Amino acid sequence: DTEVTQTPKHLVMGMTNKKSLKCEQHMGHRAMYWYKQKAKKPPELMFVYSYEKLSINESVPSRFSPECPNSSLLNLHLHALQPEDSALYLCASSQGEKGGEQYFGPGTRLTVT
Amino acid sequence: GQSLEQPSEVTAVEGAIVQINCTYQTSGFYGLSWYQQHDGGAPTFLSYNALDGLEETGRFSSFLSRSDSYGYLLLQELQMKDSASYFCAVLIYNQGGKLIFGQGTELSVKP
């Protein structure tokens, strides 16, 4: 099973809302990632969790708050977002941080109004 | 800083062979990965090279030369379904491992 699942698939939220994105993998991977991708652009790394601990935060604004409740789950809590935060948010996982083989979920298409 | 360069667009015909090059300048280099992404889809892993040389997986091959900071993805027997964006990505490790993606190459396969 090489599947990473993400919910919801689509999300529309106002600038004052609070919402969460969820990601799950059951491959026993120990590293999990959040990426942001704008149209016709490459994925941009936001956060890396390794063994359930935050190892990299790419200077992401505090309105994005990651959480790793256990080795299979990754959440991204959203609060007071801006319209420019509208993008595809991708979750990925890999066996460890030193592996170039990452498995991506289908993403959450986020629109901030 | 980190930089990767790959062509923005490549066009080829069905059945042909195409090579997508990637040059990089990074610190903490660990390896080079390739991902495919169809419109509206998520990136899909194709290959990863940590050592110099050629890795072959079916119709796709990937090459790395660490001394030249260069790699390429070779696609053989092109099919229409290969039309997609292809990203090279360097894995860097410095107090944590992360992938840095190139801008992507849009491959169009014509009949």
Q: How confident is residue B93, by pLDDT bands cut at 50, 70 and 90?
A: confident
pLDDT, mean of residues B43-53? 96
pLDDT category, B97, cuts 50, 70, 90? confident
**Closest CB from B33, B93, B104 relative to A42:** B104
Q: Which residues of chain A are within 8 Å of residue B89 when distances are taken between CB atoms?
A: 42, 100
Residue A97 — very low, low, confident or very high, per pLDDT cuts 50/70/90?
confident
**B90 strand-pairing partners:** B32, B100
Distance CA B69, CA B63 (A): 11
Chain A's closest residue to B87, CA to CA, is A42
Number of neighbours of residue A113 by Cβ within 10 angstroms: 10
Chain B contact probe: residue of A38, A97, A108, A109 with most B CBs at under 10 A: A97
- State how far the Cα of B36 lies from the Cα of B31, in Å rounded to an integer: 17
Q: Is the CB of B43 less than 8 angstroms away from the CB of A31? A: no
Q: What is the pLDDT of residues A43-94, one digit of tens each?
A: 999 999 999 999 999 999 999 999 999 999 999 999 999 999 999 999 999 9
Least CB-CB distance to B99: which of A50, A102, A103?
A102
Residue A110 has pLDDT above 70, yes or no: yes
What pLDDT shows up at residue B45? 96
Q: Is A98 in contact with B45 (Cβ distance < 8 A)?
A: no
CA angle B19, B23, B27 (to 5 degrees): 145
With 80 as the cut, is the pLDDT of residue B32 above it? yes
**Identity of the residue in B48, B87, B96 whose CB atom sits nearest the CB atom of A48:** B96
Within a 10 A sphere around the Cβ of B18, how many other Cβ atoms?
Answer: 18
